[in-house]
Amino acid sequence: MNSRLRSLPSVERLLGVREISDLSAAYSHDAVAGMVRLELELARAGVKSGGEAPQIEELVNAVLSRVHRALAPWPRRVINATGVILHTNLGRAPLSRAAVEAAAEVAAGYTDLELDLETGRRGSRQAHISSLLAQVTGAEAGLVVNNNASALMLGLTAFARDRAVVVSRGEAVEIGGGFRVPDVLRQSGARLIEVGTTNRTYVADYEAAITPETAVLLKVHQSNFAIRGFTHSTDIQVLSRLASERGLVAFHDLGSGALLDTSRFGLPREPMVQESVAQGADLAFFSGDKLLGGPQAGIVVGKRKHVDVLAKHPLARAVRVEKVTLAALSATLLSYSRGTAEADLPVWQMISATPSALKARAQEWKSSIGSGGSTVRASKSTVGGGSLPDETLPTHVLAIRPPGSAEAFVGRLRRAGRPVVARIEADEVLFDPRTVLPEETAELLDAIKSALAG
C-alpha cells in the first residue's frame, strides 16, 4: 500500500500539468489548487481501502471535471430538442429578443427602478408594471413578486391569516416539487376548508361552508392534471358573485397565465387571465414563465383596493422582484399590448409552429447529418410546465438509432460544447424541431455529428 501511495503525484506536479495550469490562469490558482488537493485526498482514501492508485491522466481528468462543474458559469444554456415547450428542468419559457435586450440594458447600469424622473422623488417599483398589467388584462391594478407560490402565499397571508379559506376538494392540488396548495394555506396562517368531492363541487357546497370565520373563496385551476367523466366545478363568475354577496374575497389561481386563446392552436382552451378579471375575481394569480412566455415571476391582478392591501403588506418586501425580471416582464407584456405576442414570444412561436414546417426542418437536419441510421417521422410535442395536462401537438422529429446504446449517445450530447437534451423512445433518440430555436440549428447539428462519431 505504501508504494501505491508514493506513486501518487504531488500537488505541485498536478498543478504543473498544462491543462490544469491553464485552468489556474482562467479561474483562480487557489481554487484550482484546493480541488487538486481534494482529488488527491480521494485517491489516497481509495488506496487505503485497497484500491489501485489512479494514473496521472485519470487524476488530471478528474480535476478538470471537478473544476468545470464548480467554477464554470452557471446555469449553462442548453438546446432543448425534447419537444417539451415549457420544460421545468430546462428553465421553462425562453425569453423574447426584446425581453433579453431589456434585461441586459438594465443589468448593465443604474435604472429608475424606484425613482420618479418627473419629480426627482422616490417612486414605486410596481407602478409601471401595475399599469401595464392593467392594460393587457383589464384589471384595475397588478403586482409582481418572485413566483406564483409567493403571490398566493402573500394573498392568503394578507386576507386570511387566522381565518378560513374555502376550496374545492378537487382543487387542493400539488403544484410540483412536493409543493401543495394546502401547505401554502397552512404556512400563510389560514385554515383550509375543503368542500365538495374530488370530481364534483357545486356553489351550494361553498355556500354551506361559509361562517363568520370565512375570509376567502379560492378557485385553483387544475393545470397539471385532468379529471374526466362525471365532473362538475363552480366557475369563477359564480364564486365571485357569492363572495361579493357575503362580503368575502374571491381568489383565482390560474397557474399558467394564458393571455392568448390556446384553442386557436388546436389545444383545449386554458382559462385566460382577462376572462377571470371580467368574471369578477377580486384577485387572479398566475406565473410569468409559463404560457405568458416571460421570466419567472408571480403576478397578481385584480381590484385596486385588494392589490393595494398586498402591496402594503410586510411580506411583499420579502418576495419582491428585482429590476432585471421587471425589465424582461415589461418587454414581454408590451408584446401582448401591441398584439404581437404570437410573433415575438418563443413559447407562442413554438405552439403555433405547423407540422409541415416542422417536418421540413427535420428533413433538413437529416440531410445535413447524412446518417443512414436516421429517419424523419411523425411524433407528438407537449406543452409541459404544468400546463394543458395530457395534451399534445403534432410534430415531426429526427429519429436516430445510434451505434451503441441510446443512453450513451444522449450522454455525449449533454457533454457537447453546447449541451443538447433530447428524448429516447424505443432505443431511438428523437430530436423535435418545435423546441429548437432557429439560431441553435448549427450547434445542434455539430453536437449530433460529434456524438455519432463517438
What was the pLDDT predicted at 371? 65
What was the pLDDT predicted at 229? 57
- C-alpha 443/C-alpha 454 separation (Å) is 17
Q: Which fold has domain 79-88+347-452?
A: Aspartate Aminotransferase, domain 1 (3.90.1150)
Instruction: List beta partners, residue 398.
Output: 376, 431
pLDDT band (50, 70, 90) for residue 176: low
- Kindly list the domain boundaries of the chain, sorted by start residue: 2-71, 79-88+347-452, 95-344
Overall average pLDDT of the 200-212 stretch: 93
Task: Give, as one character, the DSSP assignment of residue 296.
Answer: S
What was the pLDDT predicted at 300? 98
What was the pLDDT predicted at 70? 87
* Cα angle for residues 227, 228, 229 (degrees, 5° grid): 135
Element counts in the chain: helices (H) and strands (E): 20, 14
Two domains, one topology: 79-88+347-452 and 95-344? no
What was the pLDDT predicted at 81? 98
Length of the chain: 454
Q: Is the peptide bond prior to 75 cis by the omega test (within 30 degrees of 0)?
A: yes
What was the pLDDT predicted at 50? 86
Q: Is the pLDDT of residue 283 over 90?
A: yes
Q: Map residue 145 onto helix, strand or coil.
A: strand
Asked if residue 451 lies in contact with residue 412, where contact means CB atoms within 8 angstroms, the answer is yes
What was the pLDDT predicted at 186? 76
pLDDT band (50, 70, 90) for residue 4: confident
Q: Is the pLDDT of residue 248 over 80?
A: yes
From its phi and psi, is residue 297 left (phi > 0), alpha (psi between -120 and 50) or beta? beta
Phi, then psi, of 171 in degrees rounded to 5 = -115, 5
Greatest mean pLDDT range, 8-12, 283-287, 388-392: 283-287
Beta strands 141-145; 298-302: pairing state: antiparallel
Overall average pLDDT of the 206-232 stretch: 81
Overall average pLDDT of the 306-320 stretch: 97
Average pLDDT, the chain: 92
Q: What is the pLDDT of residues 404-425, one digit of tens each?
A: 899 999 999 999 999 999 999 9
Q: Is the pLDDT of residue 185 over 80?
A: no
Residue 413 CA, chain-centre distance (Å), reads: 22
Q: What is the pLDDT of residues 34-63, one digit of tens each?
A: 999 999 999 999 888 888 889 999 999 999
What was the pLDDT predicted at 182? 73
What was the pLDDT predicted at 225? 52
CB contact set of 411 (below 8 Å; sequence gap of 6+)? none
Q: Which fold has domain 95-344?
A: Aspartate Aminotransferase; domain 2 (3.40.640)
Asked if residue 217 lies in contact with residue 186, where contact means CB atoms within 8 angstroms, the answer is no
User: What DSSP string runs through 305-353?
Assistant: HHHHHHHHSHHHHHTB--HHHHHHHHHHHHHHHHT-HHHH-HHHHHHH-
Asked if residue 299 lies in contact with residue 132, where contact means CB atoms within 8 angstroms, the answer is no
Q: What is the pLDDT of residues 131-170, one digit of tens each?
A: 999 999 999 999 999 999 899 999 999 999 999 999 998 8
CA neighbor of 156 nearest in space, from 186, 122, 125: 186
Position with higher pLDDT, 390 vs 433? 433
Give all strands (DSSP E) within 256-320, no chain letters: 283-287, 298-302
What was the pLDDT predicted at 230? 55
- C-alpha 416/C-alpha 443 separation (Å) is 9
